[in-house]
Structure 1
Amino acid sequence: MSFQDIYKQKLVSAKEAVSVIKSGDWVDYGWTTGTPDVCDQEIAKRLPELEDVKFRGGILLKEPEIFKIDHPEKHMTWNSWHMGGIERKAIARGFSFYSPIRYSELPRYYRESKDPVDVAVFQVAPMDAHGYFNFGPNASHMAAMCEKAKVIIVEVNENMPRCLGGFEEGIHIKDVTHVVEGNNSPIGQLKGSGPATEVDIAVAKQIVELIPNGACLQLGIGGMPNAVGSLIAQSDLKNLGIHTEMYVDAFVDIAKAGKITGLNKSIDKGRQVYAFGAGTQKLYDYLDNNPECMSAPVSYTNDIRSIAALDNFISINNAVNVDLFGQVSAESAGIKHISGAGGQLDFVLGAYLSNGGKSIICLSSTFVNKKTGKLESRIIPTLANGSIVTDTRANIHYLCTEYGCVNLKGLTAWQKAEAIISVAHPDFRQQLIDQANAMHIWKNSNNR
């Protein structure tokens, strides 16, 4: 029997496919651009008849229909591996919860966890001549999740880019339970946060000066890392490599500027390696059938050993707050949840272990409090009560604001406090010095 014949046998309507879902099930919605569309619509119609359905997914690019039913908290929970804005709003509605884990551990977690995957439903690219559906820019943990799933429903979308890899970037028709042909709507886009601000550009300039020719880059999500990418594209840097968790639009700009060759990489030479990609259509068009780009599971991309094996590895990630002990919070502001652990700590550790590598945490020195309208410092004496420590004080390497970059590795408590205060906004420095002194982490020095 040909693969096309098997395809036709397994082809059903979305309504029929999702009829297998029952109360109490764990239902996996895939990841980012792979979140289902027409199947989601049908599940939303059934959900009011069900109870305690536990969905899993992450980084939603549009609000699922299951979120829009009356009183979703009575019928479901959404359990996110990484929060975005849509999911943050659902927290307040009482049905969305974060699942804390180092992102790199997800494939192993799926394979070893006692929690079932009763139904997996997600979007894929059309089946190829060899019977494979490509996960699109979502290799991430998808193969491991499918290994665990009792029922696998693939929703085919012709707009899903076919992202090449080498392993765990797709699923074969023989392993699929049902095939649903979607409406081929455009896949979700992750829009930028607007043009780079003057502060973003000032921070980016500080960071670009730390990057040598031949470096291997990882950029986190957010306006500031994207500003770094834009400046790299305009710089004189050359022979750069890419090994990242998330592939973002900035990498496309850097590549099209001729800065990326990957020839200095000791592993995956010449290839841009990533666990998932989310951005604008420009990004999806670039990744589609591009042999230079390598879609790989997150257990590989974020493995500290993979990162450390790459010389001159430069990791660039955002933070919400940093305190005077060097603790980094990139997940919450107090108890207000923002994102998740992701792979930041993996790259912080791996980049430092790299020969010539640098881990860089960047943030604007201040922000305007929306409630009070007052300027507040992102560098604070201690993290606010309830804030999540993403990177411990022992692991921070470089810290960059618009006022400079400082290497904090190995400094004593008073040296570290002094260095951190030196890149704080000038209006807050004396206050921070006084607070550091009260906490016994300040030594009178020449620059006081």
Structure 2
Amino acid sequence: MAERIANASFASKVMSASDAAALVPNGAVIGFSGFTGSGYPKEFPPALAQRMRVARDAGEDFRISAYTGASTAPELDGALAETGGVQLRSPYQSDPSMRKAINAGTTYYSDVHLSFMAGQVAAGFFPKPDFAVIEVSAITADGELVPSSSVGNNRTWLELADKVILEVNSWQSEDLRGMHDIYYPIGALPPNRVPVPITSAGDRIGQATLKVDPAKVVAVIKTSDPDRNTPFKPIDDDSRAIANYLLDFLHYQVKSGLIPKNLLPLQSGVGNIPNAVLDGLLHSDLENLSSYTEVIQDGMIDLIDAGKLTVASATAFSLSPDYAHKMNENAAFYRKHIILRPQDISNNGEVIRRLGVISSNGMIEADMYGNVNSTHVMGTRMMNGIGGSGDFTRSAFISCFVSPSTAKGGKISAIVPMVSHVDHTEHDVHVIITEQGLADLRGLAPRQRAKVIIEKCVHPDYREQLKDYYERACATSTFQQTPHILSEALSWHERFNETGSMLQA
């Protein structure tokens, strides 16, 4: 590890994860690195969780608040949540144990737009972190930090924290150096902000390393543990159908002259459907593509390999184990095509709107007027959080939401009369796609949108049921802009809770 910790001052602070965890007091606020299971600290969180368990078993109160970039892995979110000692979690998570603690009410969860988190902490909306615990791939001789497989909010946590703990991970490729673009904005808070100087997805506006005040670094931990990468599921028929509808739509936009032949910069959420879209792009006649998104997925690597994707800008990787290995082995090549930025830049609304990004994100449900719920099952049970979907949806040139038309073996409809929780309003949602079809909502009034969504997106088992609700709402509503029967608007959700199915008997 000598070449990984090239600064003597930092090398003198090497200690075990347990010794580093002993530095953290009860009530500490900690800013962790990590974004979609990449670049999170591997050794420190389990050591801290063990300290929390010992304190709990001794009858002592020991709780912390945890900020990250986004979701992490069981070694961080899971280990800490299982102690019952997480007071507050923000801004995004996807761990089953953390989700259980949030829904049980033992952990407060503040679900913040990813591009906003750093600025809101800096402004004092949240308590500033006492500690930053950041994974890096190396420390240079002059004391700067080479980021690992995610950037997230690391720049902000390093700037704001009183104390810093670094994990230097030798599993991360040394050739990652040069892939990152760490922008230190002039005037980070109003009224001193200046425009972010990005006019194309491949622009580099910062430096390759993170800065840290050496006086704040209290511990350095050595590790060689890999990121927790999860294989993607094979592309199923529904995902393929949704992908094909989206690709046909994009081809039509090109043919109509609305977007250029190489499209506009693409953004997609994580998962099976986005990878089906990327696979479709791989086998299409489209060339010279670009991406301005938040995560690099397997399909983007395939597009780069094929010479179809010239540049992908993001804040982190979200790769399967095979592709993570491929990235590590060939990082010197991929850094010519991939840029990893702080998430307040990768998800920046000003830049997204300037570039004309085409966004595609998943949803739990949409209603017949185009409002989207992407976070809460049956209105109250938190799944993961809004993540970056709001950042891109609100500013995209074309914003799309995708989902199979049903869930739970057909017992839940993804298209309902009224969503049980609203994350993305009808004003921001341009296109909804299920395996049944695509509804282009641009330029339509609410009642026009309802007809298109019912015709194109609803599963046949639910189509007549929703059409009946809509027609009765129009017939009985005094006001015709957005007709509803309020006593029935959430009856589908009530029926599911009572009978286990949204279908009418």
TM-score bracket for this pair, using the shorter chain length: 0.7 to 0.9
2:295 is matched with which residue: 209, 223, 246?
246
CA distance in structure 1 between the partners assigned to 2:295 and 2:86 by the alignment: 29
Task: Name the counterpart of 1:267.
Answer: none
SS in 2 for 1:167: coil
Alpha-carbon displacement from aligned partner over 1:291-333 (angstroms, at most 9, x marks no partner): 321111122222222112225x321111110001210011111
Tell me, which stretches of 5 or more residues in structure 2 are unaligned?
56-60, 184-207, 255-260, 475-481, 484-505
Tell me, which stretches of 5 or more residues in structure 1 are unaligned?
262-270, 353-357, 443-448
SS in 1 for 2:33: coil
Q: How high is the TM-score relative to the length of structure 2? A: 0.77
Choose 161-170 or 203-212, whichever is displaced more: 161-170
- Structure 1 residue 64: Cα displacement: 3.4
User: Is 1:304 aligned with 2:315?
Assistant: no
- Structure 1 residue 130: Cα displacement: 4.6
Task: Name the counterpart of 1:46.
Answer: 51
1:398 is matched with which residue: 431, 455, 475?
431
Q: Structure 1 residues 367 and 347, CA, compared in 2 at 3 Å: closer, same or farther?
A: same
Task: Name the counterpart of 2:387.
Answer: 342
SS in 2 for 1:326: coil
Structure 1 counterpart of 2:345, which letter?
Y
Task: Name the counterpart of 2:318.
Answer: 278
CA contact (8 A) 2:182 2:210 kept: no
CA distance in structure 1 between the partners assigned to 2:34 and 2:235 by the alignment: 27
Structure 2 counterpart of 1:12, which letter?
M
Percent of aligned positions that are identical: 24
- Structure 1 residue 118: Cα displacement: 0.9
CA distance in structure 2 between the partners assigned to 1:173 and 1:146 by the alignment: 6
Q: Structure 1 residues 64 and 140, CA, compared in 2 at 3 Å: closer, same or farther?
A: closer
CA distance in structure 1 between the partners assigned to 2:381 and 2:77 by the alignment: 25
CA distance in structure 1 between the partners assigned to 2:15 and 2:75 by the alignment: 25
Q: Structure 1 residues 191 and 11, CA, compared in 2 at 3 Å: closer, same or farther?
A: same
1:19-418 paired onto structure 2 within 5 Å: 19-32=22-35, 33-47=38-52, 48-49=54-55, 50-57=61-68, 58-64=70-76, 67=79, 72-73=83-84, 75-77=85-87, 79-86=89-96, 87-92=98-103, 94-113=105-124, 115-161=127-173, 162=176, 164-168=179-183, 170-172=209-211, 174-175=213-214, 177-192=217-232, 194-211=233-250, 212=254, 213-215=261-263, 216-261=265-310, 271-281=311-321, 282-283=323-324, 285-286=326-327, 288-289=331-332, 290-311=335-356, 313-333=357-377, 334-352=379-397, 358-368=398-408, 374-384=410-420, 387=421, 389-418=422-451
Task: Name the counterpart of 1:445.
Answer: none
CA distance in structure 2 between the partners assigned to 1:147 and 1:110 by the alignment: 11
Q: Structure 1 residues 432 and 320, CA, compared in 2 at 3 Å: closer, same or farther?
A: same
Q: Structure 1 residues 89 and 31, CA, compared in 2 at 3 Å: closer, same or farther?
A: same
- Structure 1 residue 405: Cα displacement: 1.5
SS in 2 for 1:427: helix
Choose 89-98 or 196-205, whichever is displaced more: 89-98
CA distance in structure 2 between the partners assigned to 1:258 and 1:291 by the alignment: 12
Q: Structure 1 residues 298 and 284, CA, compared in 2 at 3 Å: closer, same or farther?
A: farther
SS in 1 for 2:223: coil
Alpha-carbon displacement from aligned partner over 1:8-66 (angstroms, at most 9, x marks no partner): 22222323322221111112222232332222232123213252322233412224387
1:426 is matched with which residue: 457, 460, 464?
460
- Structure 1 residue 170: Cα displacement: 4.0
- Structure 1 residue 382: Cα displacement: 0.9
CA contact (8 A) 2:155 2:211 kept: no
CA distance in structure 1 between the partners assigned to 2:319 and 2:151 by the alignment: 16
SS in 1 for 2:7: helix
CA distance in structure 2 between the partners assigned to 1:401 and 1:25 by the alignment: 44
- Structure 1 residue 242: Cα displacement: 1.1
Q: Structure 1 residues 342 and 66, CA, compared in 2 at 3 Å: closer, same or farther?
A: closer
- Structure 1 residue 4: Cα displacement: 2.4
Alpha-carbon displacement from aligned partner over 1:264-290 (angstroms, at most 9, x marks no partner): xxxxxxx32102222224146437341
Structure 2 counterpart of 1:428, which letter?
Y
CA contact (8 A) 1:245 1:276 kept: yes
Aligned residues: 417
CA distance in structure 2 between the partners assigned to 1:118 and 1:107 by the alignment: 15
Structure 1 counterpart of 2:244, which letter?
K
CA distance in structure 2 between the partners assigned to 1:376 and 1:94 by the alignment: 26
Structure 2 counterpart of 1:296, which letter?
R
CA distance in structure 1 between the partners assigned to 2:141 and 2:286 by the alignment: 41
Choose 428-437 or 88-97, whichever is displaced more: 88-97
CA distance in structure 2 between the partners assigned to 1:38 and 1:436 by the alignment: 55
CA contact (8 A) 1:219 1:244 kept: yes
- Structure 1 residue 78: Cα displacement: 5.1
CA contact (8 A) 2:147 2:180 kept: no
CA contact (8 A) 1:319 1:363 kept: yes
CA contact (8 A) 1:189 1:278 kept: yes
Alpha-carbon displacement from aligned partner over 1:49-102 (angstroms, at most 9, x marks no partner): 252322233412224387379x722x4335131121433234356544421211
Q: Structure 1 residues 240 and 65, CA, compared in 2 at 3 Å: closer, same or farther?
A: closer
CA contact (8 A) 1:318 1:330 kept: yes
CA root-mean-square deviation: 2.5
